[in-house]
Amino acid sequence: MKRRIGILTAGGDCPGLNAAIRGVARASYIAFDAEIVAIRGGYKGLIEGDFKEMKKGQFSNILTVGGTILGTARTPFKEMRVVGDDLVDKVYEMRKNYKKLKLDCLVTLGGNGTHKTANLLSEEGLNIIGLPKTIDNDIYGTDVTFGFHTAVDTATDIIDRLHTTAASHNRVMVVEIMGNKAGWLTLYAGLAGGADAILIPEIPYDIEEVVKVVEMRASMGKNFTIVAVAEGAIDKEEAQMRRKDMEDKRKEEGVDFVCQRVARDLAQLTGSECRYVIPGHILRGGSPSAYDRILSTLFGTYAAKLIAEENYGVTVALKNNQITANKLSDIAGVPKAVELDHHILKTAKAMGISFGD
The vertex-155 CA angle with 154 and 161, nearest 5°, equals 90
Q: Could you confirm whether 136 is annotated as catalytic?
A: yes
Q: Single out the catalytic residue among 136, 138, 235, 292.
A: 136
**Residues annotated catalytic, as ranges:** 136
